Amino acid sequence: MNGKPLVSIISAGMSKFGKHEGSLGREIFSQAAAEAFNRCPKLDPKKEVKAMFIGHMGESYEHQGHMGATIADWIGMRGVAATRVEAACGSSGAALRTGIYAVLSGLSDVAIVGGVEKMTHRTTAEVTEYLAMAADYPFEQFHGITFPGLFAMMATAHMHSYGTTEQQFGKIAVKNHHHGSLNPKAHMQKEITLETVLSSKYVAWPLKLFDCSLISDGASCIILTKPEIANKYTDQPVHIIGTGQATDAIGLYERESFTSLRSTKLAAEEAYKLANITPDKVDLAEVHDCFTIAELIHYEDLGFCKEGEGGKLVDSGATTLGGKIPVNTSGGLKSKGHPVGATGTAQAYEIYLQLTGQAEKRQVKDAKIGLTHNIGGSGATAAVHIYRNDQ
């Protein structure tokens, strides 16, 4: 099925990312669902949606498991087959993949995939602990390593192998804050300077406070159907033409490389093959910038530049809005925010807006092909999806 639409997005919704004080995750998800339902009045969700997959990373935040049924209940979809999907911070990227399976299976012509997390009511210590569960317990967590430390090791390895600099990491933060300043749903809507990044406190050398993504509340979802019937629901379907998902060792200590994620490479290979395109055909991408070094590594693993040349790509400005391949026009995890379970489908939401000309101040001109890339943990999971607007 190379190059053919696998499934089509007929609608999408997203809550504002940021602090939702006093709200439950299920209530935040309702905002995303309401937007998606309102955007697609021809769909009768209760009657036509047969499957739902909810990306949700941590039952600890709200002391609430069973989030598939909980969300189904609270968005008026009691009865639907609803399942929570978890792949750490890649949970809703994996939910999207699962929704594609469901639609292609023939058992569920319309599916909702989304994600949610409510984090800001917890202390930073609690959030750090809960996030660390995405790393290997006996050999990583137990010994005190948390995510800034894991990504700092990748950063030092990249600096050592390729001469990448703290300035180059910093430029990614500056770019994503610039993009986020143009996104009314972003958690942080303010520009920052390189000086702000470089003078911020070290969290784990060489990563500083402004190299790290945000702790946010938020939810997102998209609605999928078969390409053959997408026009029944909308004049502007966005087709998913490629999907890839892969894993690597759960622990960083067992990886072949610290400067590249094998899971990303495998997932990208699968997705590009199904889409029948090469990386240079991608007009814009949302990639998993949990830390600035992560975005830089993803450039290389996704084929936007050669191995070791991520720093140069940043310097060239190619990944800034207006450049050859704008990355994270939404602001990314760095500025839009990172309610972990919601991130994967929030990336798909941004691409949906961009490819249908609804991205307003941050619109990429003539965007036809978009890509999303979502990882879990330090990269033990990666999901890559490729989107096309045929109009």
Question: What's the token pair of residue 315?
Answer: 């310097």
Q: Which amino acid is at 178?
A: H
Least gap, CB of 52 to a second copy (angstroms): 9
d(CA 368, CA 284): 9
**Of positions 80, 172, 215, 277, contacts a second copy by CB under 8 A:** 80
Stretch of residues binding a second copy (CB under 8 A), selected from 240-248, 281-289, 322-330, 360-368: 240-248
Q: Least CB distance from residue 17 to a second copy, whole Å?
A: 21
> Of 113, 105, 96, which Cα lies nearest the Cα of 385?
96
Comparing CB distances to a second copy, the nearer of 73 and 309 is 73
Q: Beta strands 218-225 and 369-376: pairing type? A: unpaired
Tell me if 116 sits within 8 A of 219, measured CB to CB: yes
Tell which positions 202-221 bind a second copy, by CB under 8 A. Answer: none
Taking the least distance from each CB to a second copy, the nearer of 25 and 218 is 25
Q: At what angle do helices 262-275 and 292-301 cross, to 10 degrees?
A: 50
Catalytic residues: 89, 338
In the block, residue with structure tokens 């814009």: 284
Interacting residue with a second copy among 23, 161, 165, 247 (CB under 8 A): 247
**Residue of 4, 42, 46, 66 that binds a second copy (CB under 8 A):** 66
* Span of 38-46, 57-65, 282-290, 342-350 interacting with a second copy by CB under 8 A: 57-65
Q: What is the Cα–Cα distance from 205 to 248, expressed in whole angstroms?
A: 25
Binding-site member from 68, 310, 331, 370 for a second copy (CB under 8 A): 68
Q: Considering the rule CB under 8 A, would residue 380 count as an interface residue with a second copy?
A: yes
Q: Among 187, 262, 288, 338, which residue sits at the site for a second copy (rule: CB under 8 A)?
A: 262
DSSP assignment of 240-267: EEEEEEEE--SSGGG-S-SSS-HHHHHH
For a second copy, the closer of residues 74 and 276 by Cβ is 74
Q: Which residues pair with 384 in a beta bridge?
A: 244, 373
Establish whether the linkage from the previous residue to 326 is cis, with ω within 30° of 0.
no
Looking at beta carbons only, is 173 or 230 nearer to a second copy?
230
- 134 contributes a contact to a second copy by CB under 8 A: yes
> Among residues 38, 105, 199, 316, which is the contact residue for a second copy, using CB under 8 A?
105
Helix (H) or strand (E) segment spanning residue 12: strand 7-14
Q: Could you give the CA distance from residue 337 to residue 331 in angstroms, rounded to a whole number?
A: 8
Q: Does 102 bind a second copy (CB under 8 A)?
A: yes
Q: How many other CB atoms are there within 10 angstroms of residue 139's CB atom?
A: 14
Chain-centre distance for alpha carbon 265: 16
Does 51 participate in binding a second copy (rule CB under 8 A)?
Answer: yes
127 versus 359: smaller Cβ distance to a second copy: 127
Spatial neighbors of 236 by CB under 8 A, at least 6 apart, are: 356, 389, 391
Q: Which stretch binds a second copy (CB under 8 A): 53-61, 159-167, 216-224, 313-321?
A: 53-61
Residues at the contact surface with a second copy, assessed by CB under 8 A: 1, 24, 51, 57-60, 62-70, 72-74, 77-88, 94, 97-98, 100-102, 104-108, 133-138, 141, 243, 245-251, 254, 262-263, 266-267, 376-377, 380-381
